[in-house]
């Protein structure tokens, strides 16, 4: 937890659960990544944390923005981000939304299917388009593999088709999976990308851009390599596959920029046992899967927790949220221990919770309000 957040929590009583984000860390993470991949333009993935103060900091640092819907595009435009700094990176768009984005000046779009490129041809004539290729996201704690992208041979045909439809076949994108713990994955994806570049070249189409996606990790329970290690692995892989003919590069970090910048202040609502010789205590927090932590689904993302009694004897626990829903259990199998002194009313901090939390929280399930948020 940053000193700024610790001081804020010491001086203010926040109504819990509440996300507190240190904007200096947002800036720091952005600058560190920009330095690690100096040749790439950064498009911040707005969906990770679209709060106005976060967008403002990144806008002023010169970032571009990758959006997932017309609503995120409107949101960026409303915060003085010009359309030339926005990409419409979702591969699943309504034609009317493509037209609306185009009318507002957005000129960079993703696709991964024939039907989508037809829509783009009609609604965004002449726009720069890039094809997302399928990539098995081994090593990612939050994979993004099955739902997006297409095969290499299909991508080659779709990019060719894009040109016939009057679009500008600009490049190729992939996403190695979110919270990617293995920097070598980019090398595999770039190898495939280069093959596609070669195929297209043989057909007389010169692709110009590679979108390296997101995947840069936040620090959860498991230790991860530093941003610099990712940068080195990526730049080495780009040079290995493209040699002297380097394409324009884009990265789309979401979690890697916003994740470590925030913590969620929560409170223990109940601690109980289900029978007298139970091996584990149940600890119920005032936040759960519906309150902003759905990435605990299948215990995929394992947040670090801080309690007032850390360092004292601890025992096994099952950690759950406050709603009347059986799936609202955060951790049962991942081996979480919490101090035996932990008591009802204690504050517990969920670390590195700045990405994929506020916008994931439900609107009023069981009557609980959406996750509160503070930006300092
Ligand atoms: C979600 C998403 C990102 C951000 O991914 P992170 O792993 O959070 O960095 C980037 N690009 C696309 C297309 C996405 O859908």
> Can you give the pLDDT at residue 68?
98
Return the pLDDT at 137. 82
Query: Where residue 113 falls among pLDDT bands split at 50, 70, 90?
Result: very high
Q: Return the closest-CA partner of residue 314 out of 335, 287, 289.
A: 335
Q: Left (φ > 0), alpha (ψ -120 to 50) or beta: where does 91 sit?
A: alpha
Q: Which CATH architecture has domain 260-375?
A: Beta Barrel (2.40)
Phi, psi of 23 (to 5 degrees): -65, -25
Radius of gyration of the chain (CA): 22
Measured from the Cα of 179, ligand 1's closest atom is: 7
Q: Average pLDDT for residues 198-225, to the nearest whole number?
A: 97
How far is residue 301's CA from residue 99's CA, in Å, rounded to a whole number?
36
Same fold, 23-258 and 260-375: no
> Does 144 have pLDDT greater than 90?
no
* CA–CA dist 241, 190 (Å, integer): 7
At 21, the pLDDT band (50, 70, 90 cuts) reads: very high
Is 133:149 a contact under the CB 8 Å cutoff? yes
CB 79, CB 100: distance < 8 Å: no
- Residues 5, 20: contact at Cβ < 8 Å? yes
pLDDT tens digit string along 125-139? 999 999 999 998 888
In 10 A of CB 181, how many CB atoms?
A: 17
Pocket probe for ligand 1: among 175, 301, 356, the residue whose CB has the most ligand atoms within 8 Å is 175
Q: Is the peptide bond before 297 cis (omega within 30 degrees of 0)?
A: no
Please give the C-alpha separations between residue 289 and each of 163, 224, 283, 330, 357, in angstroms, as whole numbers. 44, 24, 14, 7, 10
Distance 285 CA to ligand 1 centre (A): 29
pLDDT digit string, tens, across residues 162-184: 999 999 999 999 999 999 999 99
Give residue-wise pLDDT tens across range 300-312.
999 999 999 999 9
User: How far is 235 from 230, CA to CA, in rounded Å?
Assistant: 9
Domain 23-258: which CATH number of 3.40.50.2300, 3.30.200.20, 3.20.20.10, 3.30.1300.10:
3.20.20.10
Please name every residue paired with 128 in a beta bridge, in sequence order, or none if there are none: 108, 168
Backbone angles phi, psi at 86, to 5 degrees: -120, 135
96 in active site: no
270 CA to centre of ligand 1 in angstroms = 36
CB proximity list for 123: less than 8 A, separation 6 or greater: 95, 96, 98, 99, 102
C-alpha span between 165 and 50 (Å, rounded)? 33
**CA 43 to ligand 1 center in whole angstroms:** 10
At residue 145 the predicted structure's pLDDT band, cuts being 50, 70 and 90, is: confident
Q: What is the mean pLDDT of residues 78-91?
A: 98
* Rounded Cα distance, 277 and 372, in Å: 38
CA of 341 to the centre of ligand 1 (A): 39
Per-residue pLDDT at 336 exceeds 80: yes
> Percent of the chain having pLDDT more than 90?
97
Give the contacts of 115 (CB within 8 A, at least 6 positions apart).
none
- Does the beta carbon of 89 sit less than 6 angstroms from any atom of ligand 1? yes
- Measure the CA–CA gap between 63 and 73, rounded to whole angstroms: 15
Tell whether ligand 1 has an atom less than 6 A from the beta carbon of residue 132.
no
Does the Cβ of 256 fall within 6 Å of ligand 1? yes
Is the pLDDT at 94 greater than 90? The verdict is: yes
Candidate of 143, 177, 254 to mutate for ligand 1, largest count of ligand atoms within 8 Å of Cβ: 254
Q: Residues 254, 47: contact at Cβ < 8 Å?
A: yes
Rounded to two decimals, the pTM is 0.97
Q: How confident is the model at residue 146 (pLDDT cuts 50, 70, 90)?
A: confident
- What pLDDT is stored for residue 353 in this prediction? 98
Per domain, the residue ranges of the chain are: 23-258, 260-375
Q: Is the CB of 171 under 6 A from ligand 1?
A: no
Q: pLDDT tens for residues 254-285?
A: 999 999 999 999 999 999 999 999 999 999 99
Mean pLDDT of 229-258: 97
| Atom nearest to 255 CA in ligand 1 | 8
Contact 290, 368 (CB under 8 A): yes
**CA 181 – CA 300 distance, rounded (Å):** 13
Regarding the beta carbon of 254 and ligand 1, being less than 6 Å apart is answered yes
State residue 292 phi and psi, 5-degree precision: 135, 0
Q: Cα–Cα distance between 80 and 87 in angstroms, integer? A: 15
Residue with CA nearest ligand 1 atom 12: 213
**What pLDDT is stored for residue 261 in this prediction?**
98
Max CA pair span of the chain: 74
- Best of 46, 48, 140, 252 to mutate for ligand 1, by most ligand atoms within 8 A of CB? 252
Protein residue closest via CA to atom 13 of ligand 1:
89
354 lines ligand 1 (CB under 6 A): no
- Cα 254 to middle of ligand 1, angstroms: 6
């Amino acid at each position: 937890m940053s000193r700024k957040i610790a001081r804020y929590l010491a001086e203010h009583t926040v109504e819990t659960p509440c996300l507190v984000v240190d904007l200096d860390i947002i800036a720091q993470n952005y600058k560190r990544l920009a330095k690690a991949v100096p040749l790439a333009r950064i498009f911040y993935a707005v969906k990770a944390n679209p709060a106005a103060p976060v967008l403002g900091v990144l806008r002023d640092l010169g970032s571009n923005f990758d959006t997932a819907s017309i609503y995120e595009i409107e949101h960026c435009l409303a915060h003085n981000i010009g359309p030339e700094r926005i990409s419409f990176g979702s591969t699943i768009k309504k034609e009317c939304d493509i037209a609306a984005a185009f009318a507002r000046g957005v000129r960079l779009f993703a696709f991964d299917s024939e039907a989508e490129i037809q829509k783009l041809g009609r609604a965004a004539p002449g726009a720069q388009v890039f094809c997302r290729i399928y990539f098995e996201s081994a090593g990612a704690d939050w994979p993004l593999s099955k739902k997006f992208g297409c095969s290499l041979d299909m991508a080659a045909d779709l990019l060719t088709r894009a040109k016939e439809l009057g679009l500008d076949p600009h490049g190729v994108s992939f996403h190695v999976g979110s919270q990617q713990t293995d920097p070598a994955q980019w090398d595999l994806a770039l190898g495939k990308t280069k093959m596609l570049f070669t195929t297209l070249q043989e057909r007389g189409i010169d692709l110009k851009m590679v979108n390296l996606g997101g995947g840069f990790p936040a620090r959860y329970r498991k230790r991860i390599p530093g941003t610099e290690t990712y940068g080195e692995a990526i730049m080495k892989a780009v040079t290995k596959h493209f040699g002297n003919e380097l394409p324009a590069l884009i990265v789309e970090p979401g979690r890697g920029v916003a994740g470590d910048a925030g913590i969620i202040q929560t409170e223990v609502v109940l601690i109980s046992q289900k029978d007298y010789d139970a091996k584990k205590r149940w600890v119920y927090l005032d936040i759960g899967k519906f309150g902003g932590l759905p990435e605990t689904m299948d215990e995929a993302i394992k947040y670090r927790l801080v309690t007032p009694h850390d360092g004292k004897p601890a025992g096994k626990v099952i950690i759950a949220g406050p709603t009347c829903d059986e799936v609202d259990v955060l951790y049962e199998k991942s081996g979480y221990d919490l101090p035996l002194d932990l008591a009802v009313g204690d504050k517990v901090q969920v670390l590195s919770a700045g990405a994929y939390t506020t916008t994931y929280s439900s609107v009023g399930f069981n009557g609980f309000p959406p996750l509160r948020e503070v930006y300092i």
